[in-house]
Structure formats: C-alpha cells, structure tokens
Amino acid sequence: GEWIMRLEGIRGGYLTGSFWEDFLETVSGVNLDIFENEILGIAGESGCGKTTLLRIMYGHVVKPLVLRSGRVLLRGENGVYDLASVDLEERRKLWWRVVGYIPQNSMNMLNPVERVRDHFLEILKHHAGMGEREATSVATRYVEEVGLSRDVLNAYPHQLSGGMRQRVVIALSLMLKPKLVLADEPTTGLDVVVQRGVLQTLTEKVRSYGSSLVIVSHDIGMHTMVTDRIAIMYAGKVVEVGKTVEVIREPLHPYTRALIESLPKIGDKRLRKGLPGMPPDFKNPPSGCRFHPRCPLAMDICKDKEPPLVSLGSGRLVACWLYGEGGVGVG
C-alpha cells in the first residue's frame, strides 16, 4: 500500500533551559513510513524517545518540545503536507479529521469542568460544521459504538472510570474517521481485563474505518496481540522494523533479542533475563552504535561507526553491524 505518513530525518527533543544549547535530543534521525490500513507499534524501554516521536508525528510541537530538523509528511485530502512546516491554523484543520491523537492519560484530553457531551459537540461543530441536533445524534452513535451507554454524555469526566474515559477519548479521536490515529500507551493505568477490552474496541474501530493506527508502548505482549508491524527504538533511534510476527519469532538486532528474552513465557517459572546495563544518557550518548556498551555481540567497529538502518528485504530493516554491509551475520 501507499504511505500515509513519512518521517524523514526527524531530530527533536526538549529544551532544558533558556539557551538553544540547553537541549536534550531524544529523537536522533528517525526515518519511518506508516502505510494505509496498518497497525504499527513503536516499542522500546521508557525514555527511548517514542513518546517524543509520536508528538512530533502529530505536529503538536510546543516548547519545551522542539523539532531540530526533519519532515513529517502526511497525505491529506488535498495532497501531502509537511506537519513540521505548515502553520498552526493549517495543522488545526488536519487534527481530528486527518490525524487523531489518543494521549496516555485521558484527562489530558478531557476538560474536567465540561460534560462529555460538550467535548463531542465542540469537535463536531468546529471540525465537521455540524449543527447542535446532528452533532448530538452523531455523539450518541459514537459513544454507543465504543461500548458505552448514551448516559455517559451527561456525565463529567471524573464521574467515569478510567476505562470508560479511555473509551470516550477513543470515540472522540475516531469519530471524524481520521486516516491516521496516534495512540500513546493508550491503556496505561487500566487493569488487565479493561485494557483488553479497550484495545479491542480501538483496533476494531480503526480497522472498520480503514484508518491506520500507530501505538506507542513498552509492552511487547500488547504489540504481539494487536500490531501488524513493529518498530523498535533504542536511545532515540529506530534499530529494527518488520512484521510483528517475524520480529517476535526471529529478532535480529541484539537489543530486540534482549527485549523479547526478557518477556515472561507462559509456564516458565524461572526469572527472566533482564537487560544488563543502564539505558544511555541522552546528554552524552555512546559513540558508534548507541547499544554497544550493553551489547553482548559488540565488535570493534561498533564503538567507532554508527550502523545505518539497512533493508534486508520484505520490509525488514535493521541497524546493526552484524547485518548488511561488512556484517558477519549470526546464526
């Protein structure tokens, strides 16, 4: 299929003081395509830059977050936009209708002093030009579509459970059928059973609307359940990309292997191997391959030269000197 979003050379991070040099780069040169009709997972330990990347993908770059370079190309209704350079007014027109966002905590999207109904009406009026009556009937349909009762529309956000609020946020984000939905750890803080239900609703809706979904999560088990493709991030870089089943079955990058080996297996009572060593300090990232201080297979070249993300065919990409140019490969 065609890409719906294309990331080119994204570098971004956070200002830590009032000078341009007071900057912590948490995304360091990411190139990634998101295709039509796919669910793409972005995985990695906390602090690997995945949330920063997602916010940049939404085009919601406000200080202290800054984008230092790169393009965020989005295929909209009237052509391709670079979300990194179009003005705020233009981005506002794309939000909700072309690209939607589901934050980690639903209260970041919901206004505590407004009823649920008002959230729906505001978006439907401003972004779809609907009148009160039409908007009310659409709102009712959408809360029911995500498995809630219409009474929820009369409630204030704090009167709902975390799971219900997350369903409200899903309905809000999806109701204008954006081509791309970006979700940041959408089920964090919910209990396991509620998580399953919320994820199932989210993915079913996305599939039935023919939208694409990007889910950021540290939870590899979740990615295995719901994503078609996965991108693994380490220290601000994408280190491996591929079909989720293939990456889980045969992880190529040593970091991906470590992540997958650290997963608990059903019926296995042994303590799983954690990943030794500390995640790198963004202020002072390791030279060459950023994973080299923790990598059991590190070679001389790894300290000196950064491995490029290379294609191994059929959509599999990996950034590691064991593969591709000059790589020795591992069995």
User: Residue 155, Cβ neighbours under 10 Å: how many?
Assistant: 17
3-state SS assignment for residue 173: helix
Instruction: Provide the 10 A C-beta neighbour count for residue 145.
Output: 17
Judged by DSSP in three states, 327 sits in coil
- For the chain, give the number of residues: 331
Q: Which amino acid is at 160?
A: L
Q: Of the ranges 101-109, 118-126, 151-159, 320-328, which one interacts with ligand SF4 (CB under 6 A)?
A: 320-328
Peptide linkage before 64 cis (omega within 30 of 0) = yes
The answer to whether residue 321 forms part of the interface with ligand SF4 (CB under 6 A) is yes
We find the least distance from the C-beta atom of residue 307 to ligand SF4, in angstroms, to be 4
Residues 6+ apart with CB under 8 A from 195: 187, 222
Specify the residue, 174 or 302, whose C-beta has the smaller distance to ligand SF4. 302
Residue 234 within binding range of ligand SF4, rule CB under 6 A? no
Nearer to ligand SF4, 36 or 306 (CB): 306
- Separation between Cα atoms, residue 113 and residue 136, nearest integer Å: 19
Give how far the C-alpha of residue 43 lies from the chain's centroid of Cα atoms, to the nearest Å: 8
Asked if 298 touches ligand SF4 (CB under 6 A), the answer is yes
Which lies closer to ligand SF4 via its Cβ, residue 120 or residue 321?
Answer: 321
Residue type, 125: K
Contact between 138 and ligand SF4 by CB under 6 A: the answer reads no
Specify the amino acid at residue 56: I
74 binds ligand SF4 (CB under 6 A): no
Assess contact for 259 and 232: CB atoms under 8 A: yes
Asked whether position 320 contacts ligand SF4 by CB under 6 A, the answer is yes
Across the chain, which distance is largest between two alpha carbons, in Å? 68
Kindly indicate which of the ranges 125-133, 146-154, 190-198, 284-292 contains the residues binding ligand SF4, using the contact rule CB under 6 A.
284-292
Site string for ligand SF4, 244-273 (x = CB under 6 A): ---------xx-------------------
If one asks whether residue 292 binds ligand SF4 (CB under 6 A), the answer comes out as yes
Neighbouring C-beta atoms of residue 325, cutoff 10 Å: 8
* Distance of alpha carbon 236 from alpha carbon 254, whole angstroms: 16
Token duo for residue 137: 């009937």
Among 297, 310, 312, 324, binds ligand SF4 (CB under 6 A): 297
Which of these ranges, 21-29, 137-145, 200-208, 286-294, lies near ligand SF4 under the rule CB under 6 A?
A: 286-294
Q: Is 295 in the site for ligand SF4 (CB under 6 A)?
A: yes
CA–CA gap between residue 246 and residue 248 (Å, rounded): 5
Three-state DSSP at 241 gives strand
96 contributes a contact to ligand SF4 by CB under 6 A = no
**Should residue 289 be labelled a site residue for ligand SF4 when binding is judged by CB under 6 A?**
yes
Contact between 72 and ligand SF4 per CB under 6 A? no
Q: Which part of the chain contacts ligand SF4 (CB under 6 A), choosing from 45-53, 112-120, 188-196, 293-301?
A: 293-301
User: Does residue 275 interact with ligand SF4 by CB under 6 A?
Assistant: no
Residues in contact with ligand SF4, counted by CB under 6 A, come to a total of: 14
Distance CA 90, CA 31 (A): 24
Among 217, 307, 309, 317, binds ligand SF4 (CB under 6 A): 307
- Minimum separation from the CB atom of position 263 to ligand SF4 (A): 19
Cα–Cα distance for residue pair 31/26, rounded to 1 Å: 14
User: Could you say whether residue 107 binds ligand SF4 (CB under 6 A)?
Assistant: no
Q: Applying CB under 6 A, which residues contact ligand SF4?
A: 253-254, 289, 291-292, 295, 297-299, 302, 307, 320-322
